[in-house]
Structure 1
């Protein structure tokens, strides 16, 4: 991947040119995949994944509501009428294909023929419905988007919320609890969704609930020794728990995006420590590659490098913005495009040595590219 854009001129800032090249690859290569070969015009849905070699759809086993919502977010960010029109198609499909008219809420997935496949009601999916509707409402002003946003929020608080300030990770189709502990990842994406909803609605409910979520996450998921947010509650058997460096960076960026809401939060203070821990134990400084998972003591657990963790690392470095972080961002910028991007798209997973471990390109990944690239400096 050549990170120098064709229109770079002599004397141009190499760093700015490299950032521009990332965005050019995103606009010119990534997005057209999902209005072209990645779009099933019959189903009016994105395919779940494309081949990394010939950019053709992989055999269809399912379509997920979350994947549709992520693509709705992506195309709600695009300039021009084409992006707006595609976002409108995705918004219609989100409600038309996945809304459970009988029980309420959204089912997890449908099959290749459009019939319900997994009717679980999971928090992860509903968080992305709120997030995507906030983005689409901001872009279009659609009253339907605002209504869906409000309705999904009410449902989350009525059905998923628990007495300790957290949320069930998943419920049956009729909203019966399925058991199991809360999980940080869907709660993180609910935090992201409520931040977006607060931005577009200004409703104080979201600010109050975000403060409550931060306090509950601090009490339940944070390892006092490192400040890291574990994937499962800290009361879980430590050997079965883990820390994902990419999630430390993602949480850091989310809280840093709203200092007025979180500046006095103990969670924000913990994440300042978690950032350093994740950097020390989870980043290979020879390639700036971010490992998938660590044990709680920082020892390696899963060394595979997933592209979303690389982009969350870059976003956190840009958001942090001090001289050390920007130096690391410069090193990341030299390594990431050559390792993860190619003329036909991207590599989803690499080994530490750079071997492609997962060749397909999921429809969910452009969301991570979009949120990271939006945070990168433009000059």
Structure 2
């Protein structure tokens, strides 16, 4: 898919831009049945149906609220109604009206004993903030109230001013805080805080996101050859062997997570654009390093003689879990596009085409729609870690990031300059 040297890179061509937009619309059409009436967004199956046995998760409902708010800004018919239903559920059954905050999940069928998890996780609460910001930009009913509530909880329950980071998980009534600390929740908090600062106009959120990024990039990643320690104890001491007995965990896998190195690279570039290009030179420098390390470690030829991004590596860069996740490939696309936008370096445009060819060949499901969420090491659809196609958040971002300027918020970009 590489263009001849005399031609503009594929990523910069108007025709490719039109294709990206059409693919984004197709994704939104695929998952349009995601709402469990009155409950939130359910777990989407391979054919676009719902697996009600998995309950209704706050993080999925938030991602769908965000995605269909973006769909509203793209002018996709029916998107506003889906975003409204998702935000209504976040203000309704998914919200803990007694203690505040949001449950991790609720049953898809009211009064069912299956699927209820009343823990309060920073990961999910960061997505509530993101859903609120995107909903506000799209003019979705209830989004202003949702954002107000979510920012208050993130501030009072999860942000630790002493460390400058977010703690991870509380019990239902906020009386017991887990000793575990994690980077994944803080990564998505950076995404949410970037959007919150943009939507509210309060610069403290951008400063907070910058502080988190500085710790992760300069204090942790740089000291580990640009592999990011993911797991910590309550004193923020790295737990490099955490989950050694459960290496392919959905949210807390063992070792270095390749996709997170790539995703952090992109977030640093959004921060650079937010504060003014070059104001903090370490942001672009660190983005290059994180991306390079993740690609060097993660893009591998398997024993089946096919290439793909492995899920995790050990601390020397050797693969641990070779399963290929769609979100990693999606972030590779988005980050290569962001690096090309930020630096103009054609190597990132070439990478973009390489990742796109991989996604088109293996991840895009031309028969049923959306993207396969997981492939095995032979690049065949698998379901060991991620059965079904639970949501469209990562894939949608990968398709739209190349079309807009680097900024704090994708939704804000689209609200100002619809595609």
2:250 aligned partner: none
Q: CA deviation at 1:194?
A: 0.5
Q: Deviations over 1:78-124 (max 9, x none)?
A: 13352122211211111112111110111111013235811101101
Alignment: residue pair count: 363
Q: Return 5+ residue gaps in structure 1 as ranges.
A: 4-10
- Over 3 Å counting, the alpha-carbon distance change for 1:216 and 1:280 in structure 2 is closer
Q: CA deviation at 1:146?
A: 2.2
2:413 aligned partner: none
- Over 3 Å counting, the alpha-carbon distance change for 1:182 and 1:12 in structure 2 is closer
1:96 aligned partner: 92
- Over 3 Å counting, the alpha-carbon distance change for 1:287 and 1:271 in structure 2 is farther
Q: CA deviation at 1:12?
A: 12
Residue correspondence of structure 1 range 218-297 to structure 2 within 5 A: 218=217, 221-233=220-232, 235-240=237-242, 242-259=255-272, 260-261=274-275, 263-264=279-280, 266=282, 269-284=285-300, 289-297=308-316
Question: After alignment, is 242-251 or 352-361 more displaced?
Answer: 352-361
Rounded to whole Å, the distance in 2 between the matches of 1:304 and 1:293 is: 9
Query: Which of 347, 354, 364 pairs up with 2:379?
Result: 354
Q: CA deviation at 1:19?
A: 5.4
Question: After alignment, is 286-295 or 317-326 more displaced?
Answer: 286-295
Rounded to whole Å, the distance in 1 between the matches of 2:164 and 2:310 is: 31
2:193 aligned partner: 194
Rounded to whole Å, the distance in 1 between the matches of 2:79 and 2:48 is: 21
Q: Return 5+ residue gaps in structure 2 as ranges.
A: 2-6, 243-253, 405-418
Rounded to whole Å, the distance in 1 between the matches of 2:119 and 2:306 is: 39
Rounded to whole Å, the distance in 2 between the matches of 1:19 and 1:284 is: 29
Q: Deviations over 1:289-348 (max 9, x none)?
A: 211111121111111110000000010100010211111111222221121112312211
Rounded to whole Å, the distance in 2 between the matches of 1:273 and 1:245 is: 13
Q: Deviations over 1:51-89 (max 9, x none)?
A: x2x443334231111111100000000133521222112
- Over 3 Å counting, the alpha-carbon distance change for 1:104 and 1:220 in structure 2 is farther
- Over 3 Å counting, the alpha-carbon distance change for 1:238 and 1:157 in structure 2 is same
Q: Deviations over 1:127-157 (max 9, x none)?
A: 0000010000011075x42232122112212
- Is the contact made by 2:63 and 2:131 (CA closer than 8 Å) also made in structure 1? yes
- Is the contact made by 1:97 and 1:114 (CA closer than 8 Å) also made in structure 2? no
Rounded to whole Å, the distance in 2 between the matches of 1:216 and 1:114 is: 43
1:131 aligned partner: 130
Residue correspondence of structure 1 range 336-351 to structure 2 within 5 A: 336-342=359-365, 343-345=367-369, 346-351=371-376
Rounded to whole Å, the distance in 2 between the matches of 1:75 and 1:256 is: 25
- Is the contact made by 1:239 and 1:295 (CA closer than 8 Å) also made in structure 2? no
TM-score by length of 1: 0.87
SS in 1 for 2:238: coil
- 1:85 equivalenced with 2:109 (yes/no): no
2:396 aligned partner: 370
- Is the contact made by 1:283 and 1:290 (CA closer than 8 Å) also made in structure 2? yes
Rounded to whole Å, the distance in 2 between the matches of 1:328 and 1:272 is: 13
